[in-house]
Amino acid sequence: MTARSGPVVLVGCGRLGSAILEGWLATGAVAARDIIVLTPSDKPAADAARAKGARINPPLDALAGVHAVVLAVKPAMWRAAAAPLEGHLGPDAVVVSVMAGVLADDIASVLGRPVARVMPTTAVAQARGVAALWSLDVRARAAAKALFMPIADVVGLDAEDQMDPATAVAGSAPAFVYAFVKALARAGATQGLAPDAAVRLARGALRSAGAGLETGEDLDALIGRIASPGGTTRAGLDAMAAAGDLDRAAEAAVEAAVQRAKTL
């Protein structure tokens, strides 16, 4: 993202909006001087951006030359947040939504601009996120890629109805993984580890697993590198497979998240 593309407006600076903002500033994906943040309340990330030259809650006339508007508000609040922007955006502006469950056509009907939908993880703050992307519009899709490729692995989707499962598998899944790590720590404590030691070991295991994933190696190959035949890891994997609990838990979590996205 360069200054020549024009300013970018971030509408909403909650957890995800703040993570996006922090990632842009950390990587230079968007220069601070090209960032406009619209937020109804003070946020540490917005304050930090202001200190670097970003504009926070300027008059809406400042939006006339913006390149893209990133909608990062709660889905239930998006119409109230978007309505004031209508009539202030220039003809070349596109909209990038990071809101779960809100259809592109609904957003376009309010703002009258091409829309791309993106679902990033909050690890975009550290430029280590993953983001699902869908849009029928070439310009909106290109703008979304430019905004998120420096801070995430951008995965293109073939259809908008894939956004809800993508949200569950990526956007929600880090919390599912943390919950599993917490369960592992509890299981370790049950087997005699001190609780603090069990937590540290389980957290360290997640870091180790993440390092393996960074290699891009096939998942079965990564499992095979650890789970030797007849070993302790294989015994644990076989136990999970026999019970079916892991698959059932994953399926239930993803299905529940997808169904919830449909009601937002």
75 is in an annotated binding site: yes
Which strands, in side-by-side order, build the sheet including 94-97?
55-56, 35-38, 8-11, 68-71, 94-97, 115-120, 129-134, 152-156
74 marked among binding-site residues:
yes
Whether residue 165 lies inside any domain: the answer is no
Q: Any idea what the CATH number is for the domain that residue 8 is in?
A: 3.40.50.720
**Helical pair 245-263 and 232-243, crossing angle rounded to 10 deg:** 60
Q: In the chain, where do the E strands start and end? A: 8-11, 35-38, 55-56, 68-71, 94-97, 115-120, 129-134, 152-156
Q: Which domain holds residue 187?
A: 173-263
Please provide residue 261's backbone torsions phi and psi, each rounded to the nearest 5 degrees.
Answer: -60, -35
Is position 203 within any domain?
A: yes
- Written as six digits, the tokens of 245 are 């609990």
- What's the rounded Cα separation, in Å, for the pair 72 and 82? 11
* 21 and 101 share one domain: yes
Output the six-digit token pair for 207. 């870091």
The reply to whether 23 and 153 lie within a common domain is yes
If asked whether residues 9 and 140 sit together in one domain, one would say: yes
Question: Over its length of 264 residues, how does the chain's per-residue pLDDT go in tens digits?
Answer: 443 368 999 999 999 999 999 999 999 999 999 999 999 988 999 999 999 999 999 999 999 989 999 999 999 999 999 999 988 998 899 999 999 989 999 999 999 999 999 999 999 999 999 999 999 999 999 999 999 999 999 999 999 999 999 988 887 888 999 999 999 999 999 999 999 999 999 999 999 998 998 898 999 999 999 998 899 999 999 998 888 888 898 899 989 988 888 787
Distance of CA 6 to the CA centre of its chain: 23
Tell me if 122 is assigned to a ligand binding site: no
> Are both 150 and 244 inside the same structural domain?
no
Q: Does 130 appear as a known binding residue?
A: no
pTM of the model: 0.84
Using CB atoms within 10 Å of the CB of residue 18, give its burial: 0 to 12 exposed, 13 to 18 middle, 19+ buried. Answer: buried
User: Smallest Cα–Cα separation from 110: which of 88, 80, 83, 84?
Assistant: 83
